[in-house]
A = this chain, B = another copy of it.
Amino acid sequence: MTRSELSSLIIEKKSYLCIGLDSDIQRIPQHLLSYDDPVFEFNKQIIDATQDLCIGYKPNIAFYESGGSAGWATLEKTLAYIPKEHFTIADAKRGDIGNTSKMYARAFFEQMDFDALTIAPYMGEDSVRPFLGFDGKWVILLALTSNPGSNDFQRTLQENEEPLYQKVIGKAKEWSSSEEMMFVVGATHAEDFRNIRKTAPDHFLLVPGVGQQGGDLATLSRLGMNDQVGLLVNSSRGIIYAGSGEDFAEKARRAALKLQQEMEILLTERFG
């Protein structure tokens, strides 16, 4: 999916919502445990209930890996079930020496057919480059994450007062363009969106941390939106665990709808 296709999809669906499928066998509703593959059944019902409200799904790979080869099969089935027009993100936070990154690229872009993959920047250019150059595929590089630990290194000042996350964005812009790279920027740091938009005016930003982690949608949207929208806002637990009973999918839909409606207002405010 190209950047302009992604923008069009957002405008058309009046939503820049991405739903995180952080589906934990220990947290899904009890009544699903009688299915052959309870996590897949959970995902299927969540997707059925929310697909008109969101433009993408983001399975966090950890939740599938924790089930071993069976969990990996669940991931493959889930990806196959997501309707083709949706943007799919493997939230894997991978990154290794070039030789190895090539294998991860093969895993997520060829063995499976994700549109995008999250990547950790710590190992630098040659760990990121093997993920670039896949037609219509995206690298989503961690810049400023939404967790407390983002204060440990990402915000560390450099000689010229530039924090590490800004250095990451600056360097990454040398490696690639906004046509195939996005940045992860946590919603819990709304005040930073202004700075980031100075460095990366054109890039899409993937924003986790809305809802469960406390980010404010209106503030970050007004600061972070650009002419092509430029935002994918993710909510995981706030949607998929909105309910815990037999009506979990309906409750997930209601939580997603609330965000989509707020997004519709914010999109209208900006794009008419």
Contacts and interface: CB of A to CB of B under 8 A. Distances in A.
A72 to B, nearest CB: 4
Nearest to A171: B152
Specify how many copies of this chain sit in the oligomer. Answer: 2
Given A60-B100, A125-B148, A147-B97, A69 B70 contact: yes
A242 interface: no
A70 B145 CA distance: 32
Interface in A179-238: 213, 237
A63 interface: yes
Contact of A68 (B70, B112, B127): B112
A147 B122 contact: no
A66 B147 contact: no
A230 to B, nearest CB: 23
Contacts of A96: 60, 62, 91, 93
Interface of A: 22, 24, 60, 62-63, 65-73, 76, 91, 93-101, 103-104, 106-107, 111-112, 120-128, 142, 145-154, 156-159, 164, 167-168, 171, 213, 237
